[in-house]
Structure 1
Amino acid sequence: MPRGGLNMSAQGNGLDERGYIINSCSLDNIQPEFNTVVNAVIDELCLCFPDRIDGIYLYGSVPRGTAKVGKSDLDVSIVFKDAVTNADNEALCSISSSIAKSHHQVSKLDLDPGCMQNILLPQEKYHWQFWLRHCCCCVWGNDLSRHFPQQKPSLHIARALNGDVDVFLEQMTGKFARMSENEISRVLGKKLLRSAYYLIAEQDGSWHTEIAICAEVARKHYPQHKDDIQLAYQLAIGHLVSKEKAFVLYNRLREPLNAGFIK
């Protein structure tokens, strides 16, 4: 990471004048190069799950307009009208693999499903409801996000988004088996950086989405962990490709992350 290269004041702090988190995702931001793959995802999901999908949402670099052709992931959240089954998850994995292979504009396709009944529960305020309102834009179907309140950075959000890092590894086991060493390194690096940053976003008075800025803010707040944060950043951006080092780093930081990080 360039030690002095990022001008965070120029980037803004990710909050509006009242302190609410700004959603930087918009359909207007999607670069033309990605329209074909986005439409392919929508078509395939609607074909595979007829009348079962309430809404399809984009998140990440593509709807923020910062994606790089051939290098960036396409990230999609799907709200189902009914429960998501194991068979559904297997079908989603197949769609993810086939579209990524046939559309080289993206390096990987992530499909994250949720059930509408669960999403509407009060306990999902800081998780799914926050996610749809502040981190996604609806590209097809019913836009649930308009029904959810604006929020400010908080530990409630950080803990809901971070979850338990051990559970994350369990949930990713099947996906890791189908991923390359580069993909695994990037996923673990991003997870560690975002988890560390979310925990101090309220204290920092910010909500950044760019991974480089998250890393810079985290290094500022956690000087005793700056080397590990720098290592996570190198993994996240693909400058370091090592599944072994990624898992070692993840295991080294999982206890402080689960405890609410960093004293």
Structure 2
Amino acid sequence: MSERGLDQDGTIAREGALDRVPAAFTSVVDAARTRISKAFDRARLHSAYIYGSIPRGTAAPGVSDLDLQLALHSEPTEADRADAKAIETALDHAFPQIDGVGILLTSTRALLSDLERHDAGFFVACLCTPLLGPDLAERLPRYRPTTLLARETNGDLALALQRWHTRVAEAATDAERQTLSRGVGRRIVRTGFTLIMSRWGGWTSDLNESAELFGCYYPERVEQMRIAATVGRTPSADPAVLSTLIDDLGPWLAAEYTAVHGEKAPRP
């Protein structure tokens, strides 16, 4: 891998690998593989992937969560979601070194579709590490840090803002607000980075680096972006923090993103 998260040909390098998993998390990954194999047989599961800080080798025990993507042979059912939820709960309870588990369920048809080529397809090919089954990345293109990739990965922040406002209004506990703040922080930082990605000419998933790179182009907003990076790692229940991100930084970022890259293709 060359500088700025790129391979020698200038395409975005796959960022994780199983041999980068920190020792404290190897038992977690092994257990995830076992539980997924038991809950989803080969007729149902095409492949499974791990993503986030654990395969990047930057996970911190007691702080980092476990993120998994399952590619199914057909569209996810309610039974599939129930099985995934059971795996999430079991792993979260069994391993104190992880703070939460999230499993995404997607059909191979969707992941390989033209509509998702520069969104979910990019996610699997570059941000996910194979855990079980054949690797869908072999059927996807190599990606470059272009405005097309920026638009299709994060060009729908305005829709996320609408959902976040609803969740803020419905949040009744500090735990609910913390969970929301983590997701909001991460999404805003990633959107801030992909806003400037094509100008910078590279890729990173590191929240701190993303915030600082964003600040090189938008110094007047860097302090807010640093707050987003902080709560993306260490969630906050403070309503003022959520308001800063959802009511101020978020709307500005969505408008700037549309002006620079355009809006993401609508999904059904």
TM-score scaled by length of structure 1: 0.85
Shift of 1:177: 8.3
Moved more, 163-172 or 196-205: 163-172
User: Could you tell me how far apart the structure 1 residues matched to 2:46 and 2:235 are?
Assistant: 38
Q: Which runs of 4+ in 1 moved over 6 A?
A: none
Mapping for residues 103-142 of structure 1, pairs under 5 Å? 103-142=95-134
Flag the 1:103–1:129 CA change in 2: closer, same or farther, 3 A. Answer: same
Unaligned 5+ segments in structure 2 are 261-268
Secondary structure at the counterpart of residue 78 of structure 1: strand
Mapping for residues 57-136 of structure 1, pairs under 5 Å? 57-136=49-128
2:219 aligned partner: 223
Contact kept, 8 Å, 2:147 with 2:198, in 1: the verdict is: yes
User: Could you tell me how far apart the structure 1 residues matched to 2:135 and 2:88 are?
Assistant: 23
Secondary structure at the counterpart of residue 34 of structure 1: helix
Give the residue type in structure 2 aligned to 1:77: Q
User: Could you tell me how far apart the structure 2 residues matched to 1:130 and 1:212 are?
Assistant: 22
2:249 to 245, 253, 257: 253
1:151 to 143, 146, 156: 143
Secondary structure at the counterpart of residue 112 of structure 1: strand
User: Could you tell me how far apart the structure 2 residues matched to 1:24 and 1:40 are?
Assistant: 22
Secondary structure at the counterpart of residue 106 of structure 2: strand
Give the residue type in structure 1 aligned to 2:196: I
Say whether residues 1:211 and 2:207 are aligned partners: yes
- Superimposed CA distance per residue, residues 124-150 of structure 1 (whole angstroms, 9 cap, x where no aligned partner): 210122111111111111111122111
Unaligned 5+ segments in structure 1 are 1-10
- Superimposed CA distance per residue, residues 72-123 of structure 1 (whole angstroms, 9 cap, x where no aligned partner): 1111111011111234334323321231122112111111111111222122
Contact kept, 8 Å, 1:127 with 1:157, in 2: the verdict is: yes
Determine what percentage of the aligned residue pairs are the same residue.
26
1:188 aligned partner: 184
Say whether residues 1:168 and 2:160 are aligned partners: yes
Say whether residues 1:200 and 2:203 are aligned partners: no
User: Could you tell me how far apart the structure 1 residues matched to 2:101 and 2:158 are?
Assistant: 23
Flag the 1:107–1:113 CA change in 2: closer, same or farther, 3 A. Answer: same
Moved more, 43-52 or 111-120: 43-52
RMSD over aligned Cα, in angstroms?
2.6
2:228 to 218, 229, 232: 232
User: Could you tell me how far apart the structure 2 residues matched to 1:12 and 1:242 are?
Assistant: 37
1:28 aligned partner: 19
TM-score scaled by length of structure 2: 0.84
Contact kept, 8 Å, 2:45 with 2:72, in 1: the verdict is: yes
